[in-house]
Amino acid sequence: MRPQRLLITGAAGRLGSHLRQGLKPHVAAMRLSDIAPMAPAGVGEEVVSCDLADKPAVGRLVAGCDAVVHLGGIPNEQPFERIVEANIKGVVHLYEAARRHGVRRLVYASSNHVVGFHRQGEVLGTDCERRPDGFYGLSKSFGEDVARLYFDRWGIESACLRIGSCVAQPSDRRMLHTWLSHRDLNELVRCCLAAPSLGFRILWGVSAHRDPWWRDEAAASLGFHPADSSEPHRERLERLPPLDASDPARLYQGGAFVKMGPFEDGW
């Protein structure tokens, strides 16, 4: 399918700004949303400020769109009170608005932190046990369940992308296994939007690596074949001093997220 009007939430963020440019040739029009400031609308674009915790505002945001790429929300580990507004309420508001306005396809930015407490070196399929490494990972696991519910009950198709480390280039040893290039992110999302049939899928958002932690045949079935790899960066990254062997960030796939918090906020 080729979306006539694609909504991108979190469009001011690091990933949203890349997808704003990368997906533009593949859609007729874009509606771009965030609570942070964004670049002015270009040709074929609308820019709309929206708080995902505001249910009526989310309903207005979704109206008139036929597909959604949902990146909006808190993008890192935070106290639960902050996570719940954007990442828990926000994803329910978005799917409910999609149901009411007849949107049939969403691409949901999940995270590798849904499985962060699996050991490094363990090779995981998309059907592995979920082991969130904090409130952020827990919220993304919840979002995957929301997507499953709305597919099973109302037939709204979703791809839940367990995104790895999506940065310009890998910057530490862990990213030899978790890096997702911007180019591969754009192509993965494009494949999800273009597929004639999507259903409900969980996909790993990762480039091609020599020693992968994540195994994903489903993405290839959509036509996604990563163009980039961490291998050209290996020599540089392996010169970096390794973390202590007992450091949880070296033991578990979630890296530093597994030791963030607790946050002293009155609990």
The full set of domain ranges for the chain reads 5-259
Radius of gyration of the chain (CA): 18
Model confidence, pTM: 0.96
Considering the chain, what percentage of its residues have pLDDT values greater than 90? 96
Q: Is the pLDDT reported for residue 160 higher than 90? A: yes
- C-alpha torsion sign, points 60, 64, 70, 71: negative
Top CATH class of 5-259 equals: alpha beta
Q: Is the pLDDT reported for residue 267 higher than 60? A: no
**Confidence label for 263 from pLDDT (cuts 50, 70 and 90):** confident
Token pair listed for 72: 């909006």
Q: Is the pLDDT reported for residue 176 higher than 70? A: yes
The count of other CB atoms within 10 Å of the CB of residue 130 is: 17
Instruction: Tell which residue, 13, 89, 104, 15, has the closest CA to residue 51.
Output: 89
pLDDT, mean over the chain: 96
**Confidence label for 265 from pLDDT (cuts 50, 70 and 90):** low
pLDDT value, residue 216: 87
Q: Residues 249, 243: contact at Cβ < 8 Å?
A: yes
CA trace torsion 74, 77, 79, 82 (10° rounding): 0
Dist. CA 70–CA 228, nearest whole Å: 24
DSSP state of 206: -
Q: Residues 18, 42: contact at Cβ < 8 Å?
A: no
pLDDT value, residue 217: 83
How many CA atoms, within 13 angstroms, populate the side-chain half-sphere of residue 154?
18
How many CA atoms, within 13 angstroms, populate the side-chain half-sphere of residue 111?
31
**Confidence label for 98 from pLDDT (cuts 50, 70 and 90):** very high
> Known catalytic residues?
136
